[in-house]
């Protein structure tokens, strides 16, 4: 019976010395894409026998860690962050690929009334009516938090929001609904769907929606670049694309 390593790695290993392969891959995954990356990591481990560790933090934190010299094999971060890392040769730009897109959603605690948010005026009113609103702290570098801070200025409600916002340094913002810290939560739709006891009311109105496209690339210093590229190739397979859809993302 053929080795289970061959279906995934043969194309990358045929012309490489055995020492080009490592026993472990380290993947840095920013924000909302982490559940999908963990699913792909589990699939990769089964196919290859290579252990995969997945670290998750905001895009800003991951960018700082990479620029600070942290060792890693694959980075999956917002495409704007990845583009800059590629231009500055922290990642191998030629290995890069778009993975999934996700928009920002609005959530309430399960069992509580849902505000109308279909139009920009309705969304603005929902924010002003809510006694407290949870979102990622923009200073932590989370893409949704950075965008929402600018959006509040555009809507002319920045001062009102500063008085009521519950800033979360990272993780699942909608948990603040469950523990009673906030009445409304704004976060990537995929992140909201992970939190039991909450209800995704819907996405931001189309006119002000902001999509984050997550993309992946191998480290420019990856110990086993062929394995890193093999890992990235799994995001194009239907199992991974199904995981993206299940987590409220659109495969790219």
pLDDT reported for residue 20: 52
pLDDT tens digits in sequence order for the chain, 252 residues long? 333 443 454 444 433 333 456 789 999 999 889 999 999 999 999 999 999 999 999 999 999 999 999 999 999 999 999 999 999 999 999 999 999 999 999 999 999 999 999 999 999 999 999 999 999 999 988 889 999 999 999 999 999 999 999 999 988 999 999 999 999 999 999 999 999 999 999 999 999 999 999 999 999 999 999 999 999 999 999 999 999 999 989 999
Task: Name the phi and psi angles at 111, rounded to 5.
Answer: 95, -5
pTM: 0.81
The DSSP bridge partners found for residue 24 are 51
Give residue 3's pLDDT: 36
Tell me the two tokens of residue 80: 């704007």
CB distance 29 to 37 below 8 Å: yes
Which is nearest to 76 in space by CA: 90, 46, 56, 94? 56
| pLDDT at residue number 21 | 63
């Amino acid at each position: 019976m053929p080795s289970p390593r061959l279906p995934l790695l043969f194309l990358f290993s045929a012309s490489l010395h055995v020492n080009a392969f490592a026993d472990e891959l380290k993947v840095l995954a920013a924000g909302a894409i982490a559940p999908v990356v963990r699913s792909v990591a589990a699939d990769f481990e089964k196919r290859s026998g290579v252990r995969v560790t997945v670290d998750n933090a905001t895009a800003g934190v991951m960018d700082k860690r990479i620029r600070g010299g942290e060792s890693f094999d694959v980075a999956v971060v917002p495409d704007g962050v990845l583009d800059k890392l590629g231009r500055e040769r922290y990642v191998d730009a030629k290995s890069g690929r778009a993975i999934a897109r996700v928009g920002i959603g609005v959530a309430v605690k399960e069992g509580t009334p849902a505000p109308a948010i279909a139009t920009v005026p309705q969304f603005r009113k929902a924010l002003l009516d809510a006694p407290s609103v949870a979102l990622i702290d923009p200073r932590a570098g989370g893409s949704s938090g950075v965008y929402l801070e600018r959006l509040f200025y555009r809507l002319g409600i920045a001062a009102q929001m500063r008085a009521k916002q519950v800033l979360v340094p990272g993780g699942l913002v909608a948990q603040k609904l469950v523990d009673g810290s906030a009445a409304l939560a704004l976060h990537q739709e995929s992140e909201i769907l992970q939190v039991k006891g909450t209800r995704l009311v819907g996405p931001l109105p189309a006119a002000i929606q902001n999509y984050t496209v997550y993309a992946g690339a191998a480290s420019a210093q990856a110990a086993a670049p062929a394995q890193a590229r093999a890992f990235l190739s799994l995001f194009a397979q239907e199992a991974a694309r199904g995981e993206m859809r299940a987590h409220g993302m659109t495969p790219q």
